[in-house]
């Protein structure tokens, strides 16, 4: 058994998929590779995700320590940015491999 953030996983791959699995988590993480993004910027990049789903996925990634949510309150309007944590940045090679695999599948079918 593998334990991570109070949850138990039967193997290391289930842990990985438990953290980054789901329809939008890897997409969110992929867009955050290049730097912090505001919530509305993520919404524009992922228009197929509902606001509720995006919010839940962001919250889950934050709870798992993969992304950081920074709130700027110095002046209105409220500004919230999301960026990869140190742990989240360790996923960059994996995210790039996933993206490259997707590109190769598309290239082989055209």
Domain ranges across the chain: 24-109
Decide if 13 contacts 20 (C-beta within 8 A). Answer: no
Q: Is the pLDDT confidence value at 110 over 80?
A: no
If pLDDT is split at 50, 70 and 90, which confidence band does 109 have? low
Residue 28: closest CA among 71, 85, 84: 84
Euclidean distance between CA atoms 86 and 73, whole angstroms: 24
State the fold for domain 24-109: Arc Repressor Mutant, subunit A (1.10.10)
Residue 62: closest CA among 5, 1, 2: 5
Euclidean distance between CA atoms 70 and 82, whole angstroms: 6
Q: Is the pLDDT confidence value at 33 over 80?
A: yes
Cα separations (Å) of 2 from 21, 94, 100? Answer: 17, 20, 28
- Stated pTM of the model: 0.88
């Amino acid at each position: 058994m593998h334990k991570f953030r109070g949850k138990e996983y039967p193997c290391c791959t289930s842990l990985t998929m438990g953290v980054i699995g789901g329809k939008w988590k890897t997409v969110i993480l992929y867009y955050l590779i290049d730097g912090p993004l505001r919530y509305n910027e993520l919404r524009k990049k992922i228009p197929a995700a509902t606001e509720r789903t995006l919010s839940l996925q962001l919250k889950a990634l934050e709870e798992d320590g993969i992304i950081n949510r920074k709130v700027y309150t110095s002046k209105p309007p409220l500004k919230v940015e999301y960026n990869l944590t140190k742990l989240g940045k360790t996923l960059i090679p994996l995210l790039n491999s996933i993206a490259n695999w997707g590109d190769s599948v598309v290239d082989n079918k055209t």
